[in-house]
Amino acid sequence: MSGALQVIRVAINTPLNQLFDYLPPAKASGAQPGQRVRVPFGRREQIGVIVELDDQSEVPANKLRTAVELLDGDALLDEELMRLLAWSSTYYQHPPGEVISAALPAGLRKGAPPTLPRQFTWRATEAGRAADIATLARKASVQARILSLLIAKDSMPEAALREAHSNWRKIVSALQEKGWAECHETVADDSGPGIAGDTPPTLTQAQQQAIDNIPDSGFAPCLLEGVTGSGKTEVYLQLIQRQIAEGRQTLVLVPEIGLTPQLVDRFRRRIGDAVAVMHSGLTDAQRLNAWLAARDNRAKVIIGTRSAIFTPLAKPGLIVIDEEHDASFKQQDGFRYSARDLAVWRARQLKIPVVLGSATPAFESLHNALEKRYRHLLLPERPGSARQPDTHVIDLRQHALHEGLSQPLIQAMRRHLDAGGQALIYLNRRGFAPTLLCPACGITEECRRCDARMVLHQRSGKLVCHHCGSERRAISVCTECHTELIPVGQGTERLEQQLRKTFPEYSLVRIDRDTTRRRGELERLLEEVRSKDARILLGTQMLTKGHDFPDVTMVGIIDSDQGLFGTDFRSSERLAQSILQVSGRAGRGDRPGEVWIQTWYPDHPLLTTLLNGGYDRFADEALAERRKAAWPPFSFLALLRAEHSARVEVFEFLEQARSLAEGLATAGIQILGPASSPMEKRSGRYRGQLLIQAANRAELQHFLAGWRAAVSKLREARRSRWSLDIDPVELF
DNA sequence: AGCACGCCGACT
DNA sequence: GTCGGCGTGCTC
């Protein structure tokens, strides 16, 4: 390279949708993609990641600055991960620097070395053990207490000392001065103790068949459709063990609420301690530890939520997405990626199988299976004697409601409770009543910052907006005419009151965001259910995900009608999923379950198709509808959202964006809008959107690249807050 | 996003 | 007279 220019192209954590060219650091040789560099950026220094090398630059030579130093000897991010990140940045139209930042544990983002966090452990010396504690206690009681702790515990990590006393460092160094305590460095490794002791159960024929049909290697997307309780997890475990036997790793993605300690325990009991966990609740050190364990092949299984899709893998063998229909795999702000879709892309690049598991697959996935792009594996039965629950519809036109409960529902509950079973009652609305109405003037209490009604929370005596969180004191009479206000509709708080009145002899547990606010409270309540101390289980969506309740024999759905007349093309899909997910909680043990559904529309075609034809039949019909209307998966969408405290600003921006789009759109691109979002005002800001619909992905991608660049240069774009959502899951 | 520059209003 | 409001521009 005779004097040729050397340029490193760097991703920097900034909202600018571009890379930045630098000259390599003076003393460094062999800069390569995937290494972190410290670079001057504007008036500051930033940490970036080298994306590519070049021997020329578009940037004029006098503007090229020199990087300060390389932070890594070898690439921190391997080529495969860099490719995934680059593709994600392009596909989701998100700045490369922010994408890479999202993929790095916080410590590495800030420039820390990629090594396990150093951890120091303290212990008492021989002299310390022989010391006269009683005498010490007279002059320095805290030192004495800590010294006896060190003696009693044999050795203590710094974290434990910190808990013992906030000023621990000073105390311990005083002990060290006296020669009574010493410290040594240990390797931090808190991937809890796991003993692989569990023996695999006997498989059902369907489970065995699924396992036989999922290959060990080569790109193979597989949809594992299994009713709740049919043993999908067991299929995953056996596939994982096959990978481990081949010396390969498995990445398991689970929904946000699905990552429970019980799930991790189950994996550790089977697989041992080579299970690393990745989720947002970890400390920086724990996250770095898990990340490194995956990269260095110490972890054989990595279980994580959405962001774990960006975990580096030394020996990738398999990716599993559990509950693949779950909306939490799509990030809803900032870098709006779909971890499920990226998983399929990554598996293709890696040439490995990817298993999408669900009792209620996303219609997109089902469509891919029907089109034979995915292998379709079915687990129709429950292992052992457990049977599918019987479903009954309660026609509310014929049965009066008392405080939200109909007689048939109460009778069914009593029958199951008297027979020793547990009843689960599902109502996806928290608070006491969703509306506070003045019977005289018809006024309802509204949120001042949103287009929404305030929800009455009686116990706290507050009116709460469930959209922006604002609260005010509940009132009992109308501010206009002083008539007494009446709470209209049912929330879990009100239903709890009524159920306690109806079934005083059975104890009840309510699980929703309000009752589980305190740390550890959810676990405590779940334990009450599992130990059968509680017989009636009342709750919201929270109940339906990831928890096993083996003694629940009856499920009651209080209000199945929310979602029957939904606003977007996905609401029927979501309705079916939530009905089936909650129904799946019934009868997991050896007793058959029953599901009772209250509805005002027992003849609604959506409901009858779902209940008589089952999920796949329901999906068939819904997919036919979508094909007619050219909704996904028969088209591809991108949604430009904007918000501003002034309504006019939103539309000025969106109109400008629309005219840019009209100039760039090719034949297959449709521009819909701008329109107000379904709830136009939220948290004091007006919201609007522009929908782009395209017949094929490549055309959409091509259009979006040019459009996004043009939109971001609009003067109006600086005034409104806006975002571009590719493959949006929510259309508002 | 940061961060600076720059030009107008209400304060010690 | 200055402190500071946020509009505008720039980051290899």
Nearest nucleotide to A14 by CA–C1' distance? B1
A27 contact to strand B (CB, 7 A limit): no
Q: Backbone phi, then psi, for A398, in 5-degree steps? A: -110, -10
The angle subtended at Cα A79 by Cα A76 and Cα A80, nearest 5°, is 110
**Tokens encoding A515:** 């009752």
Residues A92 and A365: their CA atoms lie apart, in Å, by 20
Q: Which residue has the tokens 């311990």?
A: A172
Which is nearest to A539 in space by CA: A529, A723, A531?
Answer: A529
CA–C1' A22–C11 (A):
13
Residues 341-380 of A with CB under 7 A from strand B: none
Nearest residue to C10, CA vs C1'? Answer: A42
What pLDDT, on the 0 to 100 scale, is given for residue A1?
46
CA–C1' A12–B4 (A):
20
Which is nearest to A711 in space by CA: A663, A645, A673?
Answer: A663
Residues A198 and A83: their CA atoms lie apart, in Å, by 38
Nearest nucleotide to A21 by CA–C1' distance? C12
Q: How far is CA A472 from CA A438, A457, A645, A681, in A?
A: 17, 10, 22, 19
CA–C1' A93–C7 (A):
27
A518 contact to strand B (CB, 7 A limit): no
What pLDDT, on the 0 to 100 scale, is given for residue A517?
87
**Residue A73 amino acid letter:** G
Nearest nucleotide to A67 by CA–C1' distance? C12
CA–C1' A638–B5 (A):
37
Nearest nucleotide to A721 by CA–C1' distance? B1
Nearest residue to B3, CA vs C1'? Answer: A43
User: In which order are the strands placed within the sheet that holds A636-644?
Assistant: A669-682, A685-694, A636-644, A721-726
CA–C1' A720–C1 (A):
37
Cβ(A474)–Cβ(A461) below 8 Å = yes
Nearest nucleotide to A23 by CA–C1' distance? C12
Residues A50 and A36: their CA atoms lie apart, in Å, by 6
Q: How far is CA A356 from CA A212, A252, A340, A369, in A?
A: 16, 10, 8, 11
Nucleotides of B under 7 A from a protein CB: 1-4
Q: What is the pTM of this model?
A: 0.90
**Tokens encoding A284:** 């920086």
DSSP labels, A654-672: HHHHHHHHHHH--TTEEEE
A504 contact to strand B (CB, 7 A limit): no
Cβ-based neighbour number of residue A36 at 10 Å: 25
Nearest nucleotide to A719 by CA–C1' distance? C7
Instruction: Characterise A217 by phi-psi region: left (phi > 0), alpha (psi -120 to 50), beta (else).
Output: beta
Nearest nucleotide to A41 by CA–C1' distance? C11
CA A214 to chain centre: 26
Q: How far is CA A647 from CA A399, A449, A567, in A?
A: 45, 13, 22
Cβ(A232)–Cβ(A360) below 8 Å = no
CA–C1' A66–C11 (A):
14
Q: Which residues on neighbouring strands pair with residue A185, listed in sequence order?
A: A120
First to last CA, chain A: 54
Strands (E) located in A397-523: 401-402, 405-406, 422-426, 435-437, 455-457, 462-464, 471-473, 486-488, 508-511
What pLDDT, on the 0 to 100 scale, is given for residue A122?
85
Residues A206 and A56: their CA atoms lie apart, in Å, by 58
Residues A194 and A275: their CA atoms lie apart, in Å, by 8
CA–C1' A661–B8 (A):
38
CA–C1' A720–C5 (A):
19
Q: Backbone phi, then psi, for A427, in 5-degree steps? A: -145, 115
Strands (E) located in A212-366: 220-226, 249-253, 275-278, 301-304, 316-322, 353-358
DSSP for residue A716: G
Which is nearest to A537 in space by CA: A588, A589, A586?
Answer: A586
The angle subtended at Cα A461 by Cα A459 and Cα A462, nearest 5°, is 115
Nearest nucleotide to A42 by CA–C1' distance? C11
**Tokens encoding A677:** 């979002």
User: Regarding beta strands A685-694 and A669-682, do their DSSP bridges make them parallel or antiparallel, or are they unpaired?
Assistant: antiparallel
Map residue A575 onto helix, strand or coil: helix
CA–C1' A140–C1 (A):
60
Residues A152 and A437: their CA atoms lie apart, in Å, by 64
Q: For A439-458, what is each residue's pLDDT tens digit?
A: 888 889 999 889 899 999 99
What pLDDT, on the 0 to 100 scale, is given for residue A2?
42
| A633 upstream amide cis, omega within 30 of 0 | yes
Map residue A690 onto helix, strand or coil: strand
Mean pLDDT in consecutive groups of 10 residues from the start of chain A, 732 residues: 77 96 87 96 95 94 93 95 98 97 94 82 86 85 87 81 83 89 70 65 91 97 91 95 96 89 89 90 89 95 97 98 96 96 98 97 97 95 69 93 93 94 93 92 89 92 90 89 90 94 95 88 87 92 80 91 81 91 78 88 90 91 94 96 90 93 94 91 91 96 95 89 94 81
Which is nearest to A457 in space by CA: A439, A478, A473?
Answer: A473
**Residue A633 amino acid letter:** P
Residues A47 and A21: their CA atoms lie apart, in Å, by 14
CA–C1' A719–B10 (A):
26
Q: Which residues on neighbouring strands pair with residue A524, listed in sequence order?
A: none
**Residue A540 amino acid letter:** T
What pLDDT, on the 0 to 100 scale, is given for residue A202?
87
**Tokens encoding A140:** 């320095």
Cβ(A184)–Cβ(A121) below 8 Å = yes
User: Regarding beta strands A316-322 and A353-358, do their DSSP bridges make them parallel or antiparallel, or are they unpaired?
Assistant: parallel
The angle subtended at Cα A83 by Cα A80 and Cα A85, nearest 5°, is 110
A333 contact to strand B (CB, 7 A limit): no
User: Regarding beta strands A462-464 and A471-473, do their DSSP bridges make them parallel or antiparallel, or are they unpaired?
Assistant: antiparallel
Which is nearest to A605 in space by CA: A632, A585, A629, A625?
Answer: A625
Q: How far is CA A527 from CA A25, A168, A257, A524, in A?
A: 57, 35, 16, 5
CA–C1' A482–C3 (A):
50
CA–C1' A425–B6 (A):
63
Nucleotides of C under 7 A from a protein CB: 8, 10-12
